[in-house]
Structure 1
Amino acid sequence: MPTPADRIHLALEILVEEWTPFIRQELSKSYGHRVDEVILAQIRGDRNMASARFSDPLSDPHILLNVVWEQWNHCFRHQLGIFERSLISELREFRNQLAHQSFLTEDDAYRVLDSVQRLLVATGHTQRETQLEDEKVDALRQKFGHRVNRELARIRFNRRRLLDIALYSLCCFALVTTLWSFLWERHWLATLLLIAFVIFTFGYFIYQRLSAAIPVFGVHECAHCRRVIYTESCPYCEQSPAYRHRQAQIFDPREEADATLAHETLEMIDQTASPLELISKVPR
């Protein structure tokens, strides 16, 4: 099963294969036979320069996207619009993340596939459109498949949890009733202590079942790095600096505080009868 990085790499390869003739054609309209000189001058000082000397420089997605971005006003602004320019910028960013082995998700892969498809359609290169569409559908199927599996695991776990709680309650009731019927008249204090112990024990069992987290049953594959893991969260992804950096970007205490304040304000608007009460209850 391909990883998000594999899908992004495939999408960029398709873009290079389909767009290389188009890029050379548009550059030749402005620079004529000096196209190669313009490309080499554009990537002068780049770390990919060494490999570019032995092959077509535009075969590298990094060089191709940079050439289109830098030569936009001279060669491409009449064929493509502002929207396509934003897609170029987005693909450059994802290509850099791919090169630096950043933590990429299935949403990122779908976005890159969709952006490449839009660029190819905008320039009339639709030969690989079906392949890109299939990759997009497969990425969504893979994402939804993981979500459905987690939901099914949650449903099965909740059913087992309810069954365990019902059995604990039934056993507790049976033991308490037996102790009350046969031992209360003989030793009421000992019976009371035993009943309390039974209720406490089964109450603790029920609490443990109610507070238990949903486990992941069996060996499964991580949705991001595709390694075989035995826990719900992947230890390989959590150890990578890219994952920690991505999680730090996702979690922002200020955004959480703003969301909490907005939620509380909406609740007050729903529950307040007059504007004066609303003003008096808004947090300062």
Structure 2
Amino acid sequence: MKAGNRTRVLEFILHGLSEDPELQLILFGLFLAMYIVTVLGNLVIILAVSSDSHLQTPMYFFLSNLSFVDICLSSTIVPQMLVNIYTGNKAISYSDCLKQVYFSMIFPILETLLLTVMAYDRFVAICHPLHYMVLMNPRLCALLVIITWFISIMISLLHISLMMHLTFCKDLGIPHFFCELTHVLKLACSDTFLNSTLIYIMTGVLGVFPLIGILFSYSQIVSALRKMSSSRGKQKAFSTCGSHLSVVSLFYGTGVGVNFTSTVTQSSQPVSVASVMYSVVTPMLNPFIYSLRNKDVKGALGRLLSRAASCL
């Protein structure tokens, strides 16, 4: 690559989901509505868990952390997208793009690890109910959350530190609606072997091992439920586990969809659509999955709304 084709990057251009001017208003309204629902839905879950004594358990402590991560993930991507659509200016500065890459890695990793921790929590609750409060004590729960944050931050920092040493070419258009790591790396003129190797390793480690942990936990849970004689206990276990499995399926399904789509097609449009499911739709649906399938959460939401109505 000739030196004349290299440049000191000042900004990138985000192509977005569509170049059609007639679709911009529709996309703006759609993503604004989805963002509002995501923030409000997850915020309500956090408020319900923190304000209701019935939900002061490890499972709902992890759920409130998951809701916070969903808000952060959506807030990392959607506001910048809305600004670009509203102003018609698709440029994003180099520093802002790096920040978006960084945070768009942290929160999916956090969600993966939190879902794994929640699976372990359900395993202990159902397979070792008599020791549940001893094993899942507040100190351990807090430690598990701190560890998930530490791992996510360190992995994302490693990616960003390698990325900051890259030289970029003059063609700085990103065929995506946010600064996604692999798309940004494709614009680099310098060697990205270390970056790509780290992506493959981390994708394998963070994709395979948490999933194995979740599947193992639920294999033990299914075995324990078969031995359970109480139909009421089974129903409650299915309620909480069903919600968690639905979120796991949605998260891993959309995540696999993004990776599969980017592998089998060179077109950016299918990848962008799959990324919408992964980064925008999933955080929006999680609160509904937990509230609709969980009697404890529905009861807490009802009490929260009653208190709010009495204050008006």
Instruction: Choose between structure 1 and 2 for higher RCO, CA contacts under 8 A separated by at least 6 residues.
Output: 2
TM-score normalized with structure 2 length? 0.24
TM-score normalized with structure 1 length? 0.26
Larger radius of gyration: 1
| Structure having the larger proportion of residues in helix | 2
